[in-house]
């Protein structure tokens, strides 16, 4: 798929989600009706035809979920929901948040300092001529 149509699809899925969802629901309903009509022409009663069409389709909600999972822009929507949930959790217990952030900062700072010392003393040669003889 060329870049411009992909970007247009991405934009549409991201910002016009309700319209895309409605169009997909209509498309799925039309497909289900066509499948039911085919089953009726094969000799089934309307109730049996509808039931067989639903079984063959695999369930309307399951199809909706599969399409939502692979739709372009879904990963951004999911990431945004995760970020909002994280911010709400941080605001819900600020003391825990401060302790967690300080612990991470202390751990990262200590790790950086120790690596700098090890790198300077053990991994890099000393800044003297013929330093390997010392």
- The pLDDT value recorded for residue 14 is 64
> What would the pLDDT profile of 8-41 be if each residue is shown by its tens digit?
766 666 666 777 788 888 888 898 999 999 989 9
Is residue 113 assigned to a domain? no
Is residue 119 assigned to a domain? no
> What would the pLDDT profile of 109-123 be if each residue is shown by its tens digit?
999 999 999 998 888
d(CA 63, CA 27): 12
Using CA atoms in the order 65, 21, 31, 47, what is the torsion angle rounded to 10 degrees? 70
Mean pLDDT, the chain, as a whole number? 84
Number of domains in the chain: 1
Is residue 84 assigned to a domain? no
Is residue 54 assigned to a domain? yes
Range of the domain at 66: 1-72
- The pLDDT value recorded for residue 103 is 98
């Amino acid at each position: 798929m060329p870049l411009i149509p992909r970007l247009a699809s991405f934009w549409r899925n991201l910002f016009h989600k309700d319209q895309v969802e409605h169009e997909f629901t209509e498309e799925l309903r039309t497909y289900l009706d066509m499948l039911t009509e085919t089953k009726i022409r094969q000799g089934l009663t309307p109730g049996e035809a509808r039931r067989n069409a639903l079984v063959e389709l695999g369930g309307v909600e399951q199809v909706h979920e599969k399409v939502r999972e692979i739709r372009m822009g879904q990963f951004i929507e999911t990431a945004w929901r995760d970020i909002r949930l994280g911010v709400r959790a941080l605001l819900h217990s600020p003391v825990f948040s401060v302790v967690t952030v300080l612990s991470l900062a202390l751990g990262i700072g200590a790790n950086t300092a120790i690596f700098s010392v090890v790198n300077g003393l053990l991994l890099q040669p000393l800044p003297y001529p013929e330093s390997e003889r010392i």
